[in-house]
A and B are shown apart, each in its own frame.
Chain A
Amino acid sequence: MNSPTKIAALAFPLLALGGAALWATTPAPMPHPATKPRRIVSLNLCADQLVLALADRDQIAGVTRNATDTEMSGEAAKARGQPVLKNSAEQILAIDPDLVVGMPASRSAPMRALKGHRFNLLDLQSADTVDQIYASIRQTAVAVGHPERGEALVARMQAALARLGKPGGGKVAAYYQRRGFMTGTGTLIDDLMQRMGLVNLAAKLDKPPLSQLSLEEMVAAQPDYLIVESATDKIADQGTEMLHHPALAGIPRISIPQAWTVCGSPAYVQAAEGMAQQLARFQDRTHAR
């Protein structure tokens, strides 16, 4: 399990569930592409986003409870009006889905509870690089019966990312989360930073995928940028309060909504664009001086 945003977000039970099942190695029984599924059920937040992006609205029979939360899901707008399931085996049994998508689906609690029943499962892997996101998109597109949409989406993402260049210019950045958790290498955030031409402070300090860095150590390390989740822009509790300590006031901040980075989803492009824009703004300012 090497997706730190998810580890840090353990308080979200759905993410934790998704994270806990990541080491599944059983090959996904591929759904039959010829017939389009009519009752698709998604079992976790990250699967929700892919299903919502690729399937027709009336193909979807259930998403999870955080799918409509704009703070957490990049596809929240599309999830509105969709039936929200409570991760319960009973509900799934009543729907009798012809496709169950999860990350992975076969290890999820409701599917274990329904062991005796045969469902068409799509097991997705959690994505730590943009290539893995492309792979998940293609897999999902085929499973929901719209492979051409998957290809088109991947092409759009590739084109958008190609336009961005490397505005980071080798500067050091730290992805600093509430309570001082810092995201390290081998993660989607790290992939995003490298794409921007930024050096991850965690890599420089040789830290694991998720580490806790005290304010003192952060002040001593003096990264060029702090990348924070936009949900922490406002002080809501002690965990976010530390990110607003006066000692950090001098470090420029890039703020990215968690909804774009917590899952490997099409929103990766938005995260990259948002980061590039903010980097460009800082660099204009430095040039102006």
Chain B
Amino acid sequence: MTLSRPVLITGLLALTLVAAIGSILFGPVHLSLARMVAAFTGHGDRIASTILLELRLPRMLLGLGVGAMLGLAGAALQGYLRNPLAEPAVLGTSNAASLGAVAALYFGLVELHPVMLPALSVLAALLSLVGLSVLAGRSESPLTLILAGIAIATLATAGVSLALNLSPNPFAAMEIMTWLLGSLENRSFDHVWIAYPCIAIGGLLLFWDGRALDALTLGEDGAQALGVDIQRTRIRLLLGTAIGVGGAVAVSGAIGFVGLIVPHLVRPLTDRSPSAILLPSAIGGAALLTFADLAVRLIDTKNELKLGVVTAFLGVPVFLIHLMRERRLW
């Protein structure tokens, strides 16, 4: 079922808008519609404006931004690697970025300058991607790449755990959970200012190469014959993914599977060319993560659910179905 591009984009945008509005409307404190309208028009009481503008608004913006980045990175990586299982979390990029953020936070580097948080996160993400291309190299099998990704993700997860155990923080266990499963709880505009510049730069670099990704479906030689500079494309993709995912993870922790599910969900609605799924994946990612974050808030648990729990429950079935289909390649 292929939808025309304007219809698809409009539909996804509408879905995202619903998620965003829901994210503003619902929270642990019930606010009447009148109070909310008053708060947004600047005549609200202090409590309602604080809840809406300082708590729910930054959280909604981060849900949209982080989700868009993860969805886009998943689409770009799947296109570039020609591997349907590629995405930041499966390849270990998100966990590595978490490790960078943890190192910056718990060893006091952030106190030197706030920019250290996204900087270390981006650096760690970049290192993981470079490590991945060294490990998986030009291997033909898509599973080599996934296995290398799992190795990197496992190493980074262990690193997060170890870093927190070594830091003088007695509450390490709780913190480890947040960094590995992701959460948008209690975020403020400070976090928006950390994440958004990274997401903007990363997004730009990833959108740049839509054409090259299409050409790559013909293989590297074919793409080169069409005039694609493979080397530059690779560098832009690595940097874009590292900067965008690094900045997103620095404020939200490693949220899995968004980058995996979204491209698979939107691909059947497009002409299936890698460039055609970039924008829909970004918008769909924004909608999905914002909905997931809404679910986290609405499902009544004693402790707030972690985002990664919700996305994993959505993502693992998709992942498994693809593994089944790939079985003949094992």
Contact = CB atoms under 8 A, between A and B. Distances in A.
The answer to whether A and B come from one shared complex is: yes
B186 A219 contact: no
A180 B186 CA distance: 10
A250 to B, nearest CB: 8
Contact of B186 (A237, A242, A250): A242
A238 interface: yes
Contacts of B54: 245-247
Contacts of B302: 212
A207 interface: no
A219 B55 contact: yes
A245 B186 contact: yes
Interface string A222-237: 1000000000000011
Interface string B157-193: 0000000000001111111001100000110111000
Given A219-B50, A245-B188, A11 B173 contact: yes
A219 to B, nearest CB: 5
Interface in B1-47: 27-29, 46-47
A11 B304 contact: no
Interface in B219-243: none
A238 to B, nearest CB: 6
B139 interface: no
A237 B253 CA distance: 13
Contacts of B150: none
B106 interface: yes
A212 B54 CA distance: 20
Contacts of A206: none
Contacts, number: 71
B314 to A, nearest CB: 24
A216 B175 contact: no
Contact of A238 (B28, B170, B175): B175
Contacts of A164: none
Nearest to A69: B170
Nearest to A180: B186
A247 B170 contact: no
B55 A11 contact: no
A17 to B, nearest CB: 14
Contacts of B185: 214, 242
B223 to A, nearest CB: 43
B16 to A, nearest CB: 23
Interface residues of B, number: 29
B51 interface: yes
Contacts of A12: 170
A56 interface: no
Chain A binding site: helix, strand, loop or mixed by DSSP? helix
Contact of A216 (B28, B106, B169, B173): B28
A11 B165 CA distance: 11
Contact of A220 (B29, B56, B190): B29
A238 B178 contact: yes
A215 B302 CA distance: 15
A247 B29 contact: no
A10 to B, nearest CB: 9
Contacts of B303: 212
A247 B175 contact: no
A9 interface: yes
A179 interface: yes
A43 to B, nearest CB: 19
B105 interface: yes
B28 A247 contact: no
A99 B50 CA distance: 56
A220 B45 CA distance: 11
Interface in A136-156: none
A33 interface: no
B6 to A, nearest CB: 38
Given A216-B51, A239-B175, A11 B29 contact: no
B113 to A, nearest CB: 14
A284 interface: no
B47 A237 contact: no
Contact of B175 (A9, A214, A222, A237): A237
A217 interface: yes
Nearest to A12: B170
Interface centre among A12, A212, A242, A247, by most chain B C-beta atoms within 10 angstroms, is A247
A241 interface: yes
A36 interface: no
B51 A247 contact: yes
CB-based closest 7 A-B pairs: A242-B186, A247-B54, A220-B29, A11-B170, A216-B29, A214-B28, A247-B50
Given A219-B29, A245-B55, A246-B54, 17 more contacts: A11-B172, A11-B174, A179-B174, A214-B304, A216-B51, A216-B55, A219-B50, A236-B169, A237-B105, A237-B175, A238-B179, A239-B171, A245-B54, A245-B188, A246-B189, A246-B190, A247-B51
25 contacts: A11-B170, A11-B171, A11-B172, A11-B173, A180-B186, A214-B27, A214-B185, A215-B186, A216-B28, A216-B29, A216-B51, A219-B50, A219-B55, A220-B29, A222-B47, A237-B105, A238-B178, A239-B175, A241-B186, A242-B185, A245-B188, A246-B189, A246-B190, A247-B50, A247-B188
